[in-house]
A and B are shown apart, each in its own frame.
Chain A
Amino acid sequence: AQSVTQLDSQVPVFEEAPVELRCNYSSSVSVYLFWYVQYPNQGLQLLLKYLSGSTLVKGINGFEAEFNKSQTSFHLRKPSVHISDTAEYFCAVSVYTGANNLFFGTGTRLTVIP
């Protein structure tokens, strides 16, 4: 079975500072990895995804993530955050086999402080 762990439930950061949101996964088979963002009272928006190839994935809004197979991690980074980045961020994983169901971590609430 696969699982996703988001190590930080809340991350406060000052505006224009860098941020890293951590995600670790476990799976016995190869996986696809995703980061989603959810703004208050809204639905889910895909930030980026890793399928194969280059381990550094660039997404929307200046975010990027790096897949590290040896550490089973897929951390999300942004070099300089903006107030509008305040939201909840979810890491998710699906496996290559079976129904390819998507499994989510518990989320990290990013709060950007002016």
Chain B
Amino acid sequence: NAGVTQTPKFQVLKTGQSMTLQCAQDMNHEYMSWYRQDPGMGLRLIHYSVGAGITDQGEVPNGYNVSRSTTEDFPLRLLSAAPSQTSVYFCASRLDSAPNTIYFGEGSWLTVV
């Protein structure tokens, strides 16, 4: 049971480049979400999904796109990276029937230069 898997773990981008952070879970969880963590700001919700084909915005969605074509995968896309998107990104998932038990990935460290 792999849990929540994030790739890549580390990435350096140039301003204006695009990239996708991958998140996959093998627990058949309906709910998935993306957070970014910045010093002094805690974790802030970027986007979330309550099931395949359904996505919604969180607290800080600007500059990010998501899609949920399958239950297992929830990729986060940066279309034109900016230095302000330098952060640590965490993916999370849980069952709808267990809203109090959330599983986090190990994080993806992204630097935009």
Contacts and interface: CB of A to CB of B under 8 A. Distances in A.
A100 B101 CA distance: 11
B104 A44 contact: yes
A94 interface: yes
Interface string B14-58: 000000000000000001010100001111110010100000101
Interface residues of A, number: 21
A101 B100 contact: no
Contacts of A44: 43, 90, 104
Contacts of B48: 99, 101
Contacts of A100: 31, 99
A96 to B, nearest CB: 8
Given A102-B92, A104-B44, A43 B106 contact: yes
B75 interface: no
Interface in B57-72: 58-59
A99 B50 contact: yes
A91 to B, nearest CB: 9
A106 interface: yes
A44 B35 CA distance: 12
B43 A104 contact: yes
A2 to B, nearest CB: 11
A30 B33 CA distance: 22
Interface of A: 4, 6, 9, 32, 42-44, 49, 51, 90, 92, 94, 99-107
Given A43-B104, A90-B42, 7 more contacts: A4-B42, A43-B107, A51-B100, A90-B43, A100-B31, A103-B59, A105-B42
26 contacts: A6-B42, A9-B40, A32-B99, A42-B106, A42-B107, A43-B90, A43-B104, A43-B105, A43-B107, A44-B104, A49-B100, A90-B42, A90-B43, A92-B43, A99-B31, A99-B50, A100-B31, A101-B33, A102-B102, A103-B45, A104-B35, A104-B43, A106-B40, A106-B42, A107-B40, A107-B42
